[in-house]
Structure formats: C-alpha cells, structure tokens
Amino acid sequence: MSELATPKAETWLSRTFADRHYFRQLFQIALPIALQNLIMSSLNMVGMMFIGQLGETPVAAVGLANQVFFLLQLVLFGITSGIAIFTAQLWGKKDIPNIHKVLSLSVLLGLFAGLVFLLLTQLAPQAVLGVYTRDVQVIALGSAYLRIFGWSYLFTAVSFSYAAVLRSTGEVRLPLVVSITALGVNTLLSYVLIFGAFGLPALGVHGAAWAALLARILECLGMLWYTYRLRTPAAMPPRLLFSLDPGFVVKVLKPVLPVMLNELLWSLGITAYNAIYAHISTQAIAAMNIVYTIDNMALVFFLGLTTACAILVGNRIGAGEKEEAHLYALRTLVLAVAASLLVSGLILSLTPSILSLYKVSAEVISYAQKVLTIIALLFWLRVTNVILLVGALRSGGDTRFALVVDGFIIWLVGVPLAYLGAFAFHLPVYWVYLLVMSEEFTKAALGLWRFLSKKWIHDLARTV
C-alpha cells in the first residue's frame, strides 16, 4: 500500500508546489507590497519612538488619536478590498472601462467615509477619545493632534482607492515608490517639528500631527500625478465620478457592502479592545501602542502575501480557471504558515532590544514584552486567518460568509471575553490579550472548513 501511495503523494505535492510561474508571479506582487508595508511600519515605529522621548502621556495620546485614523483605514480597506475583488477579476478579462467605473465608485465611497471621520475630529475630538480613556491630559493632547491630522483623511481616501486598483492590475511599484517617499518626508519632518531642529520651535505632539498631514497630502498628489503621467490602467477619466450608472453601482455594491460591514464591525471590535486596554490603565494602553508598532512590522510580509494571493486568485477566477484559483490559494496558505514560524522566532529574539529604545516605565516594558510573547506563540494562527479570509474567501467573492466569520465572531467571542477578563476578573493586560486570541481559533476553524469546500469561488466579473 505504501508503495502505491507514495507516487500519488509525490504527484500531489509536485502539482501543488512545483509551479515556478506561480511563485514568480506571487513574489513579484508580494515583495514590493511587503517592502512598502515594512518601510511604513518601520517609519511609524520611528515616529512612535520620537514621541516616546516625550513620555508616557504623549505616547498614549498619539496612539489613541491614531486609533481614529486606524478605524478610517479599516473602513477604506473594506471599500477598496471589496472593489479590488472586481478589479482583479476584471483585469483577468482585461476589461479597462469597467475597471474605471469601479475605481470611480471606490473614490466616491472613500471620500464620503473620509468626510465623516474628518467632521468627528473637528467637531467632537474629546468625545471620540473619551471612548478610550478618562485621562484628561491624554484627551487634551490627542484632541490637538486630531484637529490637525484629521484633514489628511480626504487625501488618504483618494490614495487608498488608486493604490488598490493599481495593485489589482499588477502595478505594484508605483504605490511603493510614492508611499516610501511620503513616509520618508513624514519621518524627517517629525524629527524637525517634534524636537525643533534647524532653529525651528519644538512643537512636540503638534509637530508630529503637521508632519503626518503634509506627508499624506504629498502621497496623494504623487499617486495621482504618476498614475496619469504613466497612463496606467487606473488613469480613470475624471468625468466618471459624476456619471455612474445606478444599475452598475447596485451590482458592484451587492458583494462589496458585506466587505465594508465586515471591516466596520471588525474595526469597532478593535476599538472596543483598545477601550478595554485603556480603561485598565494608561500604562496598559501605552504598552499596547508600542506592541502595535512591532506587531505591524511582523505582519508586513504576510499582508503583501495576502494581497498578492487575492490578486492572483481573482485573476484566475476572472479568466474562468476556478480549480487553479483554489490551488493558488492553497499554495499561499502553506507558504505563509511556514514563514510565520520563522517570524515568531524573530519576535521572541528581538523584542528585548527593541523595547530598550523606549523611555517609558519598567511596568510598560514588562506589559509589552509579555503581550509580544503571546503574539509570537500564536502568530501562525493570525496569518492563517488573514490568508483564508482576505486572500481566498474575499477575493473569491464569498463576502457574506467572510462577514459572518470575521465581522461577527469578534463580537460574539473576543470582545465579551476581553470585557470579562478586564472588568470581572481584573486581569492584567497581557492575560486580557490572550483572551482576545480566542476569536482567532474560532475564525480559523470556520474559515478552513469553508475554504476546503470550494464554495467560496464566485465569478463576479460576469455580473458587470
């Protein structure tokens, strides 16, 4: 029996993992995106280190203020990743006119979301930050930051939409170059304006807000200039913003709305987590803000891999190759889990050195180190979920099931357990974070079952 089984096993393995063309395509897309994410996360960590020189209160204030931007980013990600389902499949058919229509819808939805968040930062920043903390100093500093940085939300909405369509059509270098340039400017301006270099006044938290605003404006203008200068597939005629067919909009929004709702529910869940951490103590939320910068760096390669997987899977579905789409997703999943084990080792080994760069209390460092240990041990689980839910199910158009798994589980499992851990059992922040991870186990079980059923593959390009 073993002699008969071995050739079959070898045939399956060779068919699944020996496709050089697939891996070449995967890394051509994933590596530039991962590099962009790495540079963004690195520069964000440097910026947080700059703020960290000012003390725990500024760290907590800027960290909580950036939670508002984080929420907007998740909403924009919901819009653009939902739109990218169509653009990836439409690119498989080389349908440029409909790609332009989808992009125009993405820009309009993004600008609406950006305007809503902008109004919140200008009219009620104290109320927004009051959801997270009762610390008066933190709220005052965070509100000042939001009133400046909030104007960047409109520019970010436009950048997100164009970058998503460029990537879906295989153009990954342009967003990389533009974002790296903008974030480099952000880091330089942050140093100059926070500490008052070159004879300028030291603006502290206000300086960080101005630096971030100017960088986002530069990023948006650069993205638009290169998109139209190079005549990329995303060079949409501006008149389309005002001439969308209602029937087309309805067809696109039907699978996109679950993605938007998914990201909204998930982002509100993350907000609930951060509110719970902040109510534990200012030291707890300061530790978590430090953890987030390191965690984001650890995820950069896998976010690039997820985006590449979604694009390639969408292209195959659009081209009518559903079995190949499933195989592409399976390959990416196995590769991602194997790579996640290596990253876990790096987190464990480098954490002490990274944390030593922050001028915060020993209590904050201790909390951060314990949370990062949990992150390292369960990193493979989170990577599995992002590949399954975003790289496969969402790109295959199975947005309703992804909504149930990703949008509702956080509220049915993670948030209730975190609340009980913090307020009923009065656990420290690292044990509360471990309770939060219970949602990842639930999502992995449901996501894997759906993935293996192949019921997640839908040809959405045909509908438009």
Give the span between the Cα atoms of 357 and 421, in whole angstroms.
30
pLDDT at 40: 65
* Whether pLDDT at 119 is above 90: yes
Q: Which two tokens stand for residue 303?
A: 């976010």
* Contact assessment for residue 351 and residue 372, using Cβ atoms and an 8 Å cutoff: yes
* Whether pLDDT at 14 is above 60: no
Q: Residue 405 has what DSSP assignment?
A: I
Q: Which two tokens stand for residue 144?
A: 């000042």
* Contact assessment for residue 138 and residue 60, using Cβ atoms and an 8 Å cutoff: yes
pLDDT (tens digit, 9 = 90+) per residue, 306-355?
888 888 888 788 777 788 888 888 988 998 999 999 999 999 998 888 88
Q: Which two tokens stand for residue 232?
A: 């990329």
* Contact assessment for residue 106 and residue 79, using Cβ atoms and an 8 Å cutoff: yes
Q: Quick count: other Cβ atoms within 10 Å of Cβ 119?
A: 12
Token pair 């399956």: residue: 12
* Contact assessment for residue 83 and residue 256, using Cβ atoms and an 8 Å cutoff: yes
* Whether pLDDT at 1 is above 60: no
Give the span between the Cα atoms of 340 and 52, in whole angstroms.
29
Rg value, the chain, Cα:
22
Give the span between the Cα atoms of 308 and 84, in whole angstroms.
12
Q: Residue 363 has what DSSP assignment?
A: H
Q: Which two tokens stand for residue 61?
A: 């204030």
- In percent, the amount of the chain with pLDDT more than 90 equals 24
CA torsion, points 363, 364, 365, 371, in degrees to nearest 10? 110
* Whether pLDDT at 5 is above 50: no
For range 401-419, the mean pLDDT: 91
Residue 170 φ then ψ, to 5°: 90, 0
DSSP assignment string, 384-448: HHHIIIIIIIITTT-HHHHIIIIIIHIIIIIHHHHHIIIIIS---HHHHHHHHTHHHHHHHHHHH
pLDDT (tens digit, 9 = 90+) per residue, 60-105?
788 788 888 878 887 888 888 777 777 877 877 777 888 888 888 8
Give the span between the Cα atoms of 110 and 48, in whole angstroms.
27
pLDDT at 19: 67
**What Å distances lie between residue 145 and 62, 129, 203, 286, CA to CA?**
7, 11, 11, 17
3-state secondary structure of 276: helix
Give the span between the Cα atoms of 392 and 109, in whole angstroms.
24
Give the span between the Cα atoms of 189 and 217, in whole angstroms.
13
- CB burial of 186-218 (b: ≥16 within 10 Å; e: otherwise) equals bbebbbbbbeeeeeeeebbbbbbbbbbbbbbbb
- Which sign, positive or negative, has the C-alpha torsion 273, 279, 281, 282? positive
pLDDT (tens digit, 9 = 90+) per residue, 181-220?
888 888 888 888 888 777 777 788 888 889 889 988 998 9
Nearest CA to 373 among 281, 287, 302, 306?
A: 287
CA torsion, points 372, 373, 376, 378, in degrees to nearest 10? -110
Give the span between the Cα atoms of 387 and 307, in whole angstroms.
9
Mean pLDDT of the chain: 83
pLDDT (tens digit, 9 = 90+) per residue, 142-157?
898 899 989 999 999 9
Strands (E), 45-122: none
Reduced 3-state DSSP string for 433-459: HHHHCHHHHHHHHHHHHHHHHCCCCCC
Residue 94 φ then ψ, to 5°: 55, 45
3-state secondary structure of 170: coil
Amino acid occupying residue 92: G
Give the span between the Cα atoms of 346 and 352, in whole angstroms.
11
**What Å distances lie between residue 389 and 162, 281, 329, CA to CA?**
23, 33, 11
Give the span between the Cα atoms of 22 and 313, in whole angstroms.
11
pLDDT (tens digit, 9 = 90+) per residue, 157-186?
999 899 888 887 877 778 878 888 888 888
For range 389-413, the mean pLDDT: 88
Give the span between the Cα atoms of 464 and 461, in whole angstroms.
6
For range 426-444, the mean pLDDT: 93
